[in-house]
Structure 1
Amino acid sequence: MMPPEQENPKGSSATAETISIQIEMAAASSSNVSPCPAPAHHHNNDHSSLFNFSDLLRESLHPLVLQFDDVEYAVKLQSRRGVCCPSSRSKVTRTILNGVSGAVKPGELLAMLGPSGSGKTTLLTAFAGRLPGKISGTITYNGQGFSSSIKRRIGFVTQDDVLYPHLTVLETLKYAALLKLPSKLTAREKMEQAEMIVQELGLTRCRNNIIGGPLLRGLSGGERKRVSIGQEMLVNPSLLLLDEPTSGLDSTTAQRIMGTLRRLSRGGRAVAATVHQPSSRLFRMFDKVIVLSEGCSIYSGPANSAIDYFASIGYSPGFNFMNPADFLLDLANGVPPDSRQDDEADFHGRLDLHDDQNSTKQFLIQSYKKNLHPLLKQELTYHIRKASLSRSSDQTPWTNNWWFQFKVLLSRGLKERKHESYSGLRIFQVMSVSVLSGLLWWHSDANHIQDQVGLLFFFSIFWGFFPLFNAIFVFPQERVMLTKERSSGMYRLSSYYFARTVGDLPMELVLPTIFVTITYWMGGLRPSFITFVLTLLIVLLNVLVAQGVGLALGAVLMDVKPATTLSSVVMLVFLLASGYYIQHIPPFIDWLKYVSFSHYCYKLLVAVQYSENEVYDCGLGFGCSRVMEFPAIKYLDIDHLEFDVAALVIMLVGYRLLAYVALRIAQQR
């Protein structure tokens, strides 16, 4: 075995051309919106403005050798209740990976093959340092363990393309460039780097098309996959990991994607990918192959030697034109090439076939341990010259400061969610309720004290329910995106949290302002501008507290259904304990009103609406009475309003702090 520089001279020379690789692809697969053609050879003037960035990326690309030795991983599963002890549940340990070894060096493309459930994705996730729990064995990067500096040299593309559907291709890559690339680059240089990735991956024609999603027309599958690869290529990773990059794509598009990966590996990177069922054309692109069967290796080595190895232990393809990948997958399933399954076989025949498959798997596993594993051990223990790694990432764990991350995330969030925040349906919902409320309470006055108190209570309840239920969906819906970006070290959790909450404020505050403005004057409340402003401020404070409760519930449960159910119960309790429906709560449960933000909001609204000496007409010849003596108001005990304001402020801070802590705990699971 030779050092990477000697073993792959083409890869070494290509390292000097990093991002300027010429990707030769034909026209891209059809798309619903402006399909992207494959990139043609660029003219020299296309790259002249990007020369400095190519130089910078060449300097930052350090060869990275990934080695893994006897990797084992197991999880504990909850078993069903047993027959003898139906009330008890036992935990069963399931081995996902069992003694997997291998290596991938710069300039190599490693493919991991195997049937579903064989452990391919688990092994790839372990390479990226994202696998929870304890991993046995060793995984090293240039002889070092996983660290923050290593993490920044690894690109990880998940099987599902996790992208914001309402951003365009160029916007997606530009925001990723701003967050991922180091602060020593200016914003313009980062933008130009994103432009270069768009050109190199053949996304020029659809650069201004939105990504799209299940309910939104956008890019085709191959184009979305190229955008996902482009996000990881922005930082010029030394190790690129991809989970099922060809899944769901037609054979032509899959070949183009794999051709792109092969050229990227020839640029001096180590590339590893899981591939479910490659065609023979794809198989010829692989440099190395690992074949897994039920978490165990049955082959690990050069792709062009796999057929010869299995022939040496008695398993040869049935005919010369068989797809090598199909042959390997059959063996991984325990099906030798000469076996035939008779559709008319009886039950006992099928049992015999199952036993034969298990015995075939065991033979292949034992043959691997006897013939290939010792050779892999020698290769892994052979001295590989370590590429120098920059230590700056260990000293500065983030590529950009907190304030820059906050601004970029805020800008991206506003652009992505403007369709939701400013949706006509949401505005119509609030406007229709406000007008209807104004008509129902049309020009009520202090002589209709019960009606006015009901309107104030409606303010506190409606603007408790509405923002709370909107906030519940925030973190559960963005959990996948947050996990992906945080795993790659793009930004701090605190910068995301503040950007997300601040980005929601415009519509969270604009809508209740419009609502109160319309309903307040139509409803005949006190015609005083100061009273109106105080009422509006109280409602806005109530909105922020209710939003904090929704954020906390969503972050704690991270599941929309249970969070919605629990929030319904919470708001029902707050509504009943707020002091409008029940004025004589038993002492043992009277404490509920002190944890209800609706109670404090309702109390403050009543307090600013009526003065101490204001009177109302009792009717029925009883003359007038002081408003403060009205039973529903007297029960509220309007006094020391500063404590009510302080209670809402404490809830505002407390619930949002709880949401942040719960979100951090969820990210650490």
Structure 2
Amino acid sequence: MQFDEVVYRIRIAAGGGLLKKKTKSEERVILKGISGMVLPGEMLAMLGPSGSGKTTLLTALGGRLGGHLAGSITYNGKPFSNAMKRNTGFVTQDDVLYPHLTVTETLVYTALLRLPRTLSKGEKAEHAEAVIAQLGLSRCRNSIIGGPFLRGVSGGERKRVSIGQEMLINPSLLFLDEPTSGLDSTTAQKIVSTLWELANGGRTVVMTIHQPSSRLFYMFHKVLLLSEGNPLYFGKGAAVLDYFSSVGFAPSVAMNPADFLLDLANGVATAESNEDQAAIKQSLVNAYKTQLSAAVKSELDVDSSLHTPTNDRKLKRWSNTWLDQFSVLFRRGIKERKHESFSTIKIVQVLVVAILTGLLWWQSPVDHLQDQVGLFFFYSGFWGFYPLFQAIFTFPQERMMLSKERASGMYRLSSYFMALTLGDLPMELVLPTVFYAITYWMAGLKHTAGAFFSGLFVLLYSVLCSQGLGLAIGAAVMDQKSATTLGSVIMLTFLLASGYYVQHVPAFIAWIKYISISQYTFKLLLSSQYESDQIYRCGTNQTCFVRDFPSIKTVGIGGRGSIVAVLAMAVMLVLYRLIAYVALMRVGVTRN
């Protein structure tokens, strides 16, 4: 891999607000002409203080950085391509893993998605087992990954699982962003030793690392030192101290070379130095340009015999078929999300509300029509909000995983979206079914199978529509707080316009009811329980038609109105999910 004069610029948006004067947008240069080369069998470590551009450069070299990127980055003499993506592993600093899956399940599912379709499921599982053994994960193979609030494997084991996911494809080029971050020195030593063995096996390993110990430092074949986006050194790790001594910067005491390099990158020459830090940094930048830059450029002129030809035409874009991807993602999604969908707190919440509702409406007679109408409105409100907020968090929580896996070319966005949508159906419909069954019989509603099942169908239909709206809001906003606020406003608007609270809505705002899930749900629930010519006792010796009851008359029951409601909700069912899918494509979680 070669990179020559890599420059990266970003434009910082103008600031300001209602009370602040807006400032002009400005362009900032993050990487300032960085060059280098790393060969098979070598491990390159990129060092520098926070904000020096290490992660940005690594992301650029891994083919995952868009924007104003200039310069040349080649792999075997060619630019980044689908062929390179299949032979490149990228381990992010944060271990993005599903917490409820075991180590074995995590690697097996990854193998099923990333390894080519020419291998059988059994052979892919064998590859996963081999990686588990290679990375020393056999002891924790059946332990769950865990998370911030769920006890699982240790930090070092979690990092090795992340590396193992990339090792499954037997990458010729492996990128790692801070693989030792947050680990103790012994665990960090094990991780880097594993990477050193991989490099010695003929792979190319490139990593960023913040402050390695001296033992780790001497494992690096090559070192790249950055300061504020400028290269200060590129070359063999063993020669770094000699170079800086030759330009007038030598450690005054015996110390870890990595610590000394970080001091220089921060503009600190010696512990007792009072020199201007900016002047020291500029001196080091000038020294690199005059003494090292030409040598690095000449090294880039490598003999073409080192280049391994790749035939992109023979390589299909996807490792597996759409159906295979859907099948694996469907099974993985159910196994992971069932813990959240059927968590104890959610089950208790729904059961408590159901029992309380049943007691409040206990054996409500049809003559108390206002009470029964209120129950159906409560159905439409509660099961409008509940699935909406469950769905709103789906994509914001999944975004990092989706970005990571899509950037690796693991699956199509459509297969992921369909697997998530269909996989959630059984889990999302169980709790409202239980809720409805409890409250229906406790409230003493119509004792016929037709009324019961038609009402249940309407409720589940409403749940699916509200879930779709939640998915659309979550995908479009991708911020949990903002999405929750927007979802609350929209659902409250639907409830207010549904005809229960206000029966004489002004014409200029009455159009809201035509896009209200709550209004259609309320109408269909009433139609499932009452008939247009049904009567009830509205006075001491007086009867009235149900259709003339104020709350019912506003929305209407039966007839063409019910057909329109069913069709309108069908449109919403499809439209909201389509919006969610398009939003996922627009927010930048896809890269191919």
Normalization by structure 1: what TM-score? 0.86
* Counterpart position of 1:67: 2
* Counterpart position of 1:330: 263
* Counterpart position of 1:581: 501
In structure 2, how many angstroms separate the alpha carbons of the residues matched to 1:540 and 1:268? 56
Change (3 A) 1:421 1:311: same
What count of residue pairs does the alignment treat as equivalent? Answer: 586
* Counterpart position of 1:637: 556
Which amino acid in structure 2 is aligned with residue 186 of structure 1?
S
Larger mean Cα displacement after TM superposition, 520-529 or 93-102: 520-529
Q: CA deviation at 1:393?
A: 6.4
Q: Please give the per-residue CA displacement for 1:27-74, whole angstroms capped at 9, x wherever unaligned.
A: xxxxxxxxxxxxxxxxxxxxxxxxxxxxxxxxxxxxxxx100000011
Q: In the alignment, is residue 90 of structure 1 matched against residue 10 of structure 2? A: no
Q: In the alignment, is residue 388 of structure 1 matched against residue 309 of structure 2? A: yes
* Counterpart position of 1:184: 118
Which amino acid in structure 1 is aligned with residue 108 of structure 2?
K
1:495-510 equivalent positions in 2, closer than 5 A: 495-510=415-430
1:520-531 equivalent positions in 2, closer than 5 A: 520-531=440-451
Check conservation: 1:148, 1:393, Cα contact below 8 A.
Answer: no
* Counterpart position of 1:221: 155
Determine which of 234, 245, 268 is the counterpart of 1:300.
Answer: 234
Q: CA deviation at 1:446?
A: 1.9
Change (3 A) 1:662 1:534: same
What SS class does the counterpart of residue 378 from structure 1 fall into?
helix
In structure 1, how many angstroms separate the alpha carbons of the residues matched to 2:14 and 2:507? 46
* Counterpart position of 1:428: 348
Q: CA deviation at 1:598?
A: 0.7
Check conservation: 2:179, 2:191, Cα contact below 8 A.
Answer: yes
- Structure 1, unaligned runs of 5 or more: 1-65, 342-352
* Counterpart position of 1:571: 491
In structure 1, how many angstroms separate the alpha carbons of the residues matched to 2:64 and 2:548? 64
After TM superposition, which residue ranges in structure 1, 4 or more long, deviate above 6 angstroms? Answer: none
Which amino acid in structure 1 is aligned with residue 100 of structure 2?
H
Q: In the alignment, is residue 662 of structure 1 matched against residue 580 of structure 2? A: no
> How high is the sequence identity, in percent, across the aligned residues?
58
In structure 2, how many angstroms separate the alpha carbons of the residues matched to 1:179 and 1:467? 30
* Counterpart position of 1:230: 164
Q: CA deviation at 1:392?
A: 5.2
Q: CA deviation at 1:384?
A: 2.9
1:305-324 equivalent positions in 2, closer than 5 A: 305-319=239-253, 321-324=254-257
Q: Please give the per-residue CA displacement for 1:443-489, whole angstroms capped at 9, x wherever unaligned.
A: 12221111111111111111111100110110001111111111111
* Counterpart position of 2:140: 206
Check conservation: 2:82, 2:312, Cα contact below 8 A.
Answer: no
Q: Please give the per-residue CA displacement for 1:90-131, whole angstroms capped at 9, x wherever unaligned.
A: 112221100000011100000001111100010000011111
In structure 1, how many angstroms separate the alpha carbons of the residues matched to 2:155 and 2:364? 59
Q: Please give the per-residue CA displacement for 1:567-609, whole angstroms capped at 9, x wherever unaligned.
A: 1111110110001111100000000100101101111111221
Q: In the alignment, is residue 117 of structure 1 matched against residue 51 of structure 2? A: yes
What SS class does the counterpart of residue 124 from structure 2 fall into?
helix
What SS class does the counterpart of residue 509 from structure 2 fall into?
helix
Change (3 A) 1:407 1:81: closer
* Counterpart position of 1:624: 543
What SS class does the counterpart of residue 176 from structure 2 fall into?
strand
Change (3 A) 1:585 1:81: closer
Check conservation: 2:46, 2:223, Cα contact below 8 A.
Answer: yes
Larger mean Cα displacement after TM superposition, 126-135 or 628-637: 628-637
Q: CA deviation at 1:205?
A: 0.8
* Counterpart position of 1:58: none
Check conservation: 2:91, 2:177, Cα contact below 8 A.
Answer: yes
Q: CA deviation at 1:79?
A: 5.7
What SS class does the counterpart of residue 135 from structure 1 fall into?
strand
In structure 1, how many angstroms separate the alpha carbons of the residues matched to 2:584 and 2:157? 32
Check conservation: 2:225, 2:261, Cα contact below 8 A.
Answer: yes
Which amino acid in structure 1 is aligned with residue 113 of structure 2?
L
Check conservation: 2:407, 2:590, Cα contact below 8 A.
Answer: no
Q: CA deviation at 1:256?
A: 1.2
Which amino acid in structure 2 is aligned with residue 196 of structure 1?
A
Check conservation: 1:81, 1:90, Cα contact below 8 A.
Answer: no
Which amino acid in structure 2 is aligned with residue 178 of structure 1?
L
* Counterpart position of 2:221: 287
Q: CA deviation at 1:132?
A: 2.5
Q: CA deviation at 1:391?
A: 2.4
Check conservation: 1:149, 1:393, Cα contact below 8 A.
Answer: no
Cα RMSD between the aligned structures? Answer: 1.6
* Counterpart position of 1:609: 529
Check conservation: 2:14, 2:22, Cα contact below 8 A.
Answer: no
- Structure 2, unaligned runs of 5 or more: none
Which amino acid in structure 1 is aligned with residue 565 of structure 2?
D
In structure 2, how many angstroms separate the alpha carbons of the residues matched to 1:661 and 1:78? 25
* Counterpart position of 2:397: 477
Larger mean Cα displacement after TM superposition, 655-664 or 432-441: 432-441
In structure 2, how many angstroms separate the alpha carbons of the residues matched to 1:177 and 1:550? 32
Which amino acid in structure 1 is aligned with residue 184 of structure 2?
D
Normalization by structure 2: what TM-score? 0.96
What SS class does the counterpart of residue 137 from structure 2 fall into?
coil
What SS class does the counterpart of residue 139 from structure 2 fall into?
coil
Check conservation: 2:364, 2:443, Cα contact below 8 A.
Answer: yes
Determine which of 188, 192, 196 is the counterpart of 1:258.
Answer: 192
Check conservation: 2:459, 2:521, Cα contact below 8 A.
Answer: yes
In structure 1, how many angstroms separate the alpha carbons of the residues matched to 2:264 and 2:393? 46
Q: In the alignment, is residue 415 of structure 1 matched against residue 415 of structure 2? A: no
What SS class does the counterpart of residue 138 from structure 2 fall into?
coil
